[in-house]
Amino acid sequence: MKPEQRRERIVDIVRARDRVTVDELAGQLGSSRETIRRDLGALADGGRIRKFHGGASAREPPKEGPFSDRMGEALREKRAVAAAAAALFEAGSTMFVDVGTTTLIFAEALAGRTDITVITNGLAIARILSNSGTKVFVIGGEMRPDTGEMVGALAVEQIGRFYAAHAVITVGGLSALGAMDFDLEEAQVARAMIGQAKTLTVIADGSKLQRDALFRVCALDAIDRLVVDRPPGQELARALQAADVQVIIAPDPESGQNK
């Protein structure tokens, strides 16, 4: 078993059992205690688990702040990612776009494109695009007042009435486990969009890399393209390469160079 595979297995075991000892992990994985201790140290340094003397316990995933607060975070990076992602789509493209701070900025980058069609569950995204002449379909459902997004069973059912060439989603975290979200209903919407699209583009600023959340949206091998403002770390880069994900590093618009 390769080190990255063993470490992902350790994370799965710790999450399933909440608390596990070095001896238990060594026996279950057929590795030495010294190897397991090194693995636990690396995983703890990366924030994946909590390490204690003789073992490890599950680490509670970080929580997202209010949507309005997150809109002001990493704004320069999100704009770079949005601009790079918007340039990927040719005339005639049809795409699902879910709701997030990065996809809202992505909509601003798309504004004025009259040669594409967007299906979204976000009122703000729909308003930005429709006011500039883009053809937009809005998914219905239960509206969340803080984000203006539609979620729930009705939203998922309505997504099933469409089929698009692309799905463009943002994530709460991205690790070797896959694309993750902090909210169950948002994850359900994203999964439904992915299921009705031919290709998947994930857009995210670098703070989402090597970060886990509570709900998995999809495995890495479901992602066709990842647009991000900086290169992933070594472990995640290897996992993305193994999953055949195209990684696009957005140029920094203020420097004219890749970050």
How deeply is 32 buried, as exposed, middle or buried, from its count of CB atoms within 10 A (0-12, 13-18, 19+)? Answer: exposed
pLDDT confidence of residue 146: 87
pLDDT-based confidence at residue 70 (cuts at 50, 70, 90): low
Distance CA 246, CA 225 (A): 5
pLDDT-based confidence at residue 17 (cuts at 50, 70, 90): confident
DSSP H helices, the chain, are 3-17, 22-29, 33-45, 67-70, 75-86, 101-110, 123-130, 153-159, 184-195, 234-242
Report the DSSP pairing between strands 225-228 and 251-252.
unpaired
Distance CA 98, CA 13 (A): 32
User: Can you give 229-254 as a three-state secondary structure string?
Assistant: CCCCCHHHHHHHHHCCCEEEECEECC
Give the three-class secondary structure for 100. Answer: coil
CATH code given to domain 3-58: 1.10.10.10
Of 234, 162, 245, which Cα lies nearest the Cα of 203?
Answer: 245
pLDDT confidence of residue 73: 64
Of the candidate ranges 35-39, 91-95, 106-110, the one whose mean pLDDT is the lowest: 35-39
pLDDT-based confidence at residue 63 (cuts at 50, 70, 90): low
pLDDT confidence of residue 93: 97
pLDDT-based confidence at residue 259 (cuts at 50, 70, 90): very low
Distance CA 208, CA 167 (A): 19
Tokens of 239: 């996992």
Distance CA 234, CA 245 (A): 14
Q: Does the pLDDT of residue 61 top 90, yes or no?
A: no
Q: Does the pLDDT of residue 140 top 60, yes or no?
A: yes
Interhelix angle for 234-242 vs 3-17, to 10°? 100
**Domain spans of the chain, in order of start:** 3-58, 67-258
Q: Does the pLDDT of residue 230 top 70, yes or no?
A: yes
pLDDT confidence of residue 258: 46
pLDDT-based confidence at residue 253 (cuts at 50, 70, 90): low
pLDDT digits (tens, 9 = 90+) for 80-103: 999 999 999 999 999 999 999 999
Interhelix angle for 3-17 vs 33-45, to 10°? 80
Question: Does domain 67-258 match CATH 3.40.50.620?
Answer: no
Whole-angstrom CA distances from 69 to 3, 123, 210 are 38, 18, 22
Distance CA 121, CA 168 (A): 12
Q: Does the pLDDT of residue 249 top 60, yes or no?
A: yes
CB 248 within 8 A of CB 201: no
Q: Does the pLDDT of residue 12 top 90, yes or no?
A: no
